[in-house]
Amino acid sequence: MLLDRSFEEIKVGDQEVFSKTFHESDVITFANLSGDQNLIHTCEEFASRSQFKKRIVHGMLTASLISTVFGTLLPGANTVYLSQDLRFLAPVYLEDTVKAVVEVIEKKEEKRTLTFKTQVINQHGQVVISGQAKVMKAVSLLATA
Amino acid sequence: MLLDRSFEEIKVGDQEVFSKTFHESDVITFANLSGDQNLIHTCEEFASRSQFKKRIVHGMLTASLISTVFGTLLPGANTVYLSQDLRFLAPVYLEDTVKAVVEVIEKKEEKRTLTFKTQVINQHGQVVISGQAKVMKAVSLLATA
């Protein structure tokens, strides 16, 4: 799905959500893609002796779901990512289902920018990542192409 | 490679770098993994009519390389990611080679935390992502396991 919400129709308080269950294959794919082969992600034996007791999902993979909301739902097409703050509050384990929730908290007409409260929440209702983001909704050039 | 730098030996000013060239396959893999199928990443025709003129790499995929340095090089094993601020300053295109550079700017003994200046720089020397991060170097439990 790829929405294209116009800047004009977006208002403070608007929310969107994207959910995903992380499987072992996702973590292995991301470890290979990013190069982050830390054993806390890739080795059950190592992880069992760590403070987390089990393998955890890469924080940046979990955080990516926030970006997915921006890129596909709100604002969707022609979104330009300007900034993102992330606080990693709790681990995400394999087979956890998390949802990225974004909410517009500020809108600046002149620069076409939107500030969002961004959270990722697990299946127990626990906030695992919190932060804020700023994006710009670029003017579509398609109509004049 | 997975280093395990002890907290005691890490000092302010220490740096590490991780480099990667992003190919089309990386972007497609990340689009499928994260769900961010925005056409600016996946469709050359769409991208050619955008302000970027060409397809760009997902910002969070580029940012992941910062996390890779923490997870594999500095501090390496038993790193706990606490926070990361990201400012996306310039686009990264397919076949660009970028390097994530992290530098210790603060060390707090009592909580075993390290604050880093974090940057991603492209092959032209341009900073494409800037920010700061905080990580904790957990005490390894392996010795007592």
pLDDT for B5? 87
* Domain CATH code at residue A127: 3.10.129.10
Tokens of B121: 């720089």
Nearest CB partner across the interface for A81, out of B30, B35, B59: B59
Establish if A75 belongs to a structural domain. yes
Closest to B65 (Cα-Cα) out of B29, B125, B18: B18
- Chain A: give the shortest CA distance to residue B111, in Å: 15
| Residue-wise pLDDT tens digits, B70-128 | 999 999 999 999 999 999 999 999 999 999 999 999 999 999 999 999 999 999 999 99
Establish if A8 belongs to a structural domain. no
Count how many domains chain B has: 1
Establish if A69 belongs to a structural domain. yes
Establish if A145 belongs to a structural domain. no
Q: Contact B2/A72, CB-based, under 8 Å?
A: no
- Chain A: give the shortest CA distance to residue B30, in Å: 8
pTM listed for this prediction: 0.95
- Indicate whether A45 pLDDT > 90: yes
pLDDT for A114? 98
Tokens 């908290």 belong to: A105
Establish if B5 belongs to a structural domain. no
Complex ipTM value: 0.94
pLDDT for A139? 84
Contacts of B36 in chain A (CB under 8 A): 64, 67-68, 71-72
Residue in B with minimal Cα distance to A28? B33
- Indicate whether B144 pLDDT > 50: no
- Chain B: give the shortest CA distance to residue A105, in Å: 18
Residues 6+ apart with CB under 8 A from A114: A10, A75, A104, A106, A107, A108, A134, A135, A136, A137
Establish if B6 belongs to a structural domain. no
Establish if A4 belongs to a structural domain. no
Tokens of B145: 């396991």
Q: Contact A50/B78, CB-based, under 8 Å?
A: yes
| Residue-wise pLDDT tens digits, A61-95 | 999 999 999 999 999 999 999 999 999 999 999 99
Q: Contact A29/B33, CB-based, under 8 Å?
A: yes
Residues 6+ apart with CB under 8 A from A88: A59, A128, A129, B81, B82, B83, B84
Query: Secondary structure of chain A: what % helix, strand, coil (to 5)?
Result: 25, 35, 40
What domain range is A120 assigned to? 14-137
pLDDT for B141? 63
Contacts of A142 in chain B (CB under 8 A): 46, 49
Establish if B48 belongs to a structural domain. yes
